Structure 1
């Protein structure tokens, strides 16, 4: 990667479309919140926590992820967590983010939905006013739990839907196909909530098709296994259905052996609306800028590919048409100052 490419990446305005706010919980904050809330962690130090970040698969990560979330108890904890991510996002030149939160991770241990939502919402609103970062908030259902549990979570969310911009589906993909949540997503559609779903990460490419056809999603989170199905590739290329790809996550969770083997470049070459995101950056070793830089270096991305990834992210976002056009024009204007 040339220094010019590094400078271009730093200069481009960015969108993050696949960020789990609980996955931005850094070990230092985990210890601070544990102390503040009287929670005993099974780790003696920050270094011990980081040593545990050697994951064999998605499930081994989730086990640690859910354990870490146990320090989040009060509204101010969720505010502090979200505000810390947003301050970091500002340094990466992120101008818009669409973040997931997992209420079932917290309500299942007795934390009220309102506590979770209000802390996150307050930080998002403050970031818009003070940092100029716009945002959308996506309620993500946990697929390893039952559909009935998801429906109960949707009921708890009803008083707050004015501040929730869409719904998603995450957690353990294997053995939990999208169709398991057909009724839940149909109800979300009735409520006018846009829908996305994790699919084609550890699960097969057919889970992508199922998410589209059964859950009627408008965006696929991850989706890297789509290349196993040429018909599906052609379909999503035609429709410009976005893929929110997370390169560092894919390597840390053994979806790809190395970053050099990541299929992002193939996704772009196939005409897919692929984007770069960080997923759970505190656990996977890199926030958005680091994912951009590391992936560009490993795959030897060209200037045109870098710019296309930035434009794709704005196209894939839930910003209104005028804001999309404004940001895409800015990307092109900035790119023109970094000729090959």
Structure 2
């Protein structure tokens, strides 16, 4: 199974690029940019990557992001992630970035997106990994702040496929951002939103009905509402699920309690993703392996997560067909009878 998962073509749809900041790079960038961290070594940074809940993680996440100052820093962060994608056979990725995390500390929007976009372009040219970029609004900030960020994004419409909504879900429901999402759709952006991770099923419903999202990020609390699960399956609404993240943040106390396979069996378009892998203990292979081993899934069933992700991606039908071809070729080789 480990060999099968390692070589399996994968598509990642829920990845925060700031969440790929490994301790080594955080420490190196802090030293380069003269940023004071409350750690005296890489080992101390790694030890700090232990936390008990979403807010504790977010506090560390935003502190770590402060070391990113220059366009080259954002390039290096993104390209390091793409190299990991190449190693783990991720053939397409659609990544989030949080411009407000950086612009609020004086980093220009253009600096952030230019570094990320340049790395994604090089990733396609040099590594063969296609990609899309999704800009997220921080939901713990005001909608007015989100609108200001959207205005900045309009200058880079050619680089951004969609807008999303992340950060702490509690106390910041989707309806808080209904106006800015309408503005974003009018400007031609697709929409996604984190919902139903730590928040109730109502957040999923409102993200669909009020924000008109094309995908729900996380969405695992949907099983608290059986009618919602039926609706998600009937409408092919994708859920970008992050197994290791969900257990690390105690959404589920143990992987055996995770509902991703239950949702798969009920026909929901669930996908496997790594969320903030530097902090949550694993990139795509580790997330796939966690599900494969915990639930003893057959290989063909495991490959369905890639099929779902291809279908849920924001690429055209021709590009989707090519990714399906790559997956089918891999499976044909894996299951070819030995004569």
Tell me the TM-score normalised to structure 1 length. Answer: 0.97
Confirm or deny that 1:187 pairs with 2:183.
Answer: yes
Q: How many Å separate the matches in 2 of 1:235 and 1:294?
A: 27
Q: Secondary structure at the match of 2:158?
A: helix
Task: Please give the residue correspondences for 1:102-121 in structure 2 after superposition, counting only pairs within 5 Å.
Answer: 102-121=98-117
Do the aligned partners of 2:7 and 2:88 also contact (CA within 8 Å) in 1? no
**What does the per-residue CA deviation read over 1:64-84, in whole Å, with 9 as the maximum and x for residues that have no partner?**
000000000011100000010
For the 8 Å contact 2:14–2:273, the answer to whether it is kept is yes
Are 1:11 and 2:7 counterparts? yes
Q: Which runs of 4+ in 1 moved over 6 A?
A: none
- Cα deviations across residues 153-197 of structure 1 (Å, max 9, x unaligned)? 011111111111110000000000000000000000101100000
Tell me by how many angstroms 1:21 deviates.
0.2
**Is 1:139 aligned to 2:135, yes or no?**
yes
Residue pairs, 1:278-289, within 5 angstroms: 278-289=274-285
Query: Residue 316 of structure 2 corresponds to which residue in structure 1?
Result: 320
What corresponds to 1:276 in structure 2? 272
User: How far apart are the structure 2 equivalents of 1:220 and 1:157?
Assistant: 22
Contact 1:54 1:252 in 2 (8 A): no
**What is the aligned partner in structure 2 of residue 88 from structure 1?**
84
**Residue 134 of structure 1: how far off its partner (Å):** 0.5
Deviation at 1:279, TM superposition (A): 0.3
Tell me how far apart the structure 1 counterparts of residues 79 and 117 of structure 2 sit (CA, whole Å).
10
Native 8 Å contact 2:233 2:267 kept in 1: yes
Q: Is the 8 A contact 1:178 1:211 kept in 2?
A: yes
Task: Pick one of 44, 63, 67 that aligns with 1:67.
Answer: 63
- DSSP 3-state at the match of 1:336: helix
Using structure 2 for the length normalisation, give the TM-score: 0.97
What are the residue-to-residue correspondences of 1:19-58 with 2, within 5 Å? Answer: 19-58=15-54
Greater mean alpha carbon deviation, residues 111-120 or residues 253-262 = 253-262
Q: Which moved more, 1:229-238 or 1:323-332?
A: 323-332
Q: CA deviation at 1:327?
A: 1.7
Aligned residues: 336
Partners in 2 of 1:153 and 1:326 — Cα distance?
35
Higher mean alpha-carbon deviation, 317-326 vs 215-224, is at 317-326
Counterpart contact for 1:139–1:167, Cα < 8 Å: yes
Q: Between 52-61 and 214-223, report the one with greater CA deviation.
A: 52-61
SS of the aligned residue for 1:71 comes to coil
Query: Quick check: 1:8–1:335 contact (8 Å CA) kept in 2?
Result: no
- Paired with 1:116 and 1:152, the residues of 2 have a C-alpha distance of 16
1:163 is aligned, of 153, 159, 165, to: 159
Q: Alpha carbon RMSD of aligned pairs, Å?
A: 1.1
Output the CA distance in 2 between the equivalents of 1:158 and 1:117: 12
Match of 2:149 in 1: 153
Report deviation, 1:56: 1.6
The corresponding residue for 1:211 is 207
Range 327-336 or range 316-325, more displaced? 327-336
Partner of 2:287: 291
Unaligned runs of 5+ in 2: none
Within 2, Cα distance between the matches of 1:152 and 1:37? 27
Distance of 2:196 and 2:250 partners within structure 1: 13
SS in 1 for 2:131: strand
Query: For each residue in 1:260-300, what CA deviation from the matched residue of structure 2 results, as whole angstroms up to 9, or x when unmatched?
Result: 21111111011000000000000001011111112211121
Tell me, yes or no, if the aligned pair for 2:242 and 2:273 is still in contact at 8 Å: yes
Listed as ranges, the gaps of 5+ residues in structure 1 are none
CA offset digits 1:193-229 (Å, max 9, x no partner): 0000000000001100000000000000001111111
Aligned to 2:334: 338
